[in-house]
Amino acid sequence: MSSTIIESMKEVYEYRRLLYSMVVRNLKGEYKSSYLGFAWHFITPAIMVILFYVVFTALRGGVIENYWVYLCIGMFPFTFFQTNLGGGSNCVVSNAGTIKKMYFPREIIVLSRIISTFITFLLAYVAVIALMLLSGITIGLGAVIFLPAVMVLSIIFATGYVLLLSSITVFVRDVHHFLEAISRIFLWTTPIFYLASEVSGILETIIWSNPLTYFIESYHDILYLGVAPSMFQLGVCLILAVVTLVAGAVVFNRLKGKFAEVL
Span 203-218, mean pLDDT? 95
Question: Could you give the number of structural domains in the chain?
Answer: 1
Per DSSP, which regions of the chain are E strands? Answer: none
Looking at residue 210, what is its pLDDT? 95
Looking at residue 26, its amino acid is: N
Higher pLDDT, 235 or 67: 235
What span, in angstroms and rounded, lies between the C-alpha atoms of 107 and 110?
Answer: 5
d(CA 209, CA 32): 38
What's the number of CA atoms in the CB half-sphere (13 Å) around residue 34? 11
Tens digits of per-residue pLDDT, 20-75? Answer: 999 988 887 666 665 555 666 667 667 767 776 676 665 555 578 888 889 889 98
pLDDT given at position 120 = 87
Q: Give the model's pLDDT for residue 136.
A: 85
Which of the four pLDDT bands, split at 50, 70 and 90, describes residue 263?
Answer: confident
Q: By C-alpha distance, which of 87, 85, 93, 106 is closest to 252?
A: 106
Q: Position 125: which residue type?
A: Y
Report pLDDT digits (tens) over 162-197: 999 999 999 998 888 888 788 888 988 999 988 888
- Domain span at 240: 2-262
Q: Contact at 8 Å (CB) between 212 and 81? A: yes
CB–CB of 180/88 below 8 Å?
no
pLDDT tens digits, residue range 196-206? Answer: 888 888 989 99
Return the pLDDT at 65: 84
> pLDDT at position 238, please?
97
Question: Percent of the chain, pLDDT > 90?
Answer: 46
pTM for the whole structure: 0.89
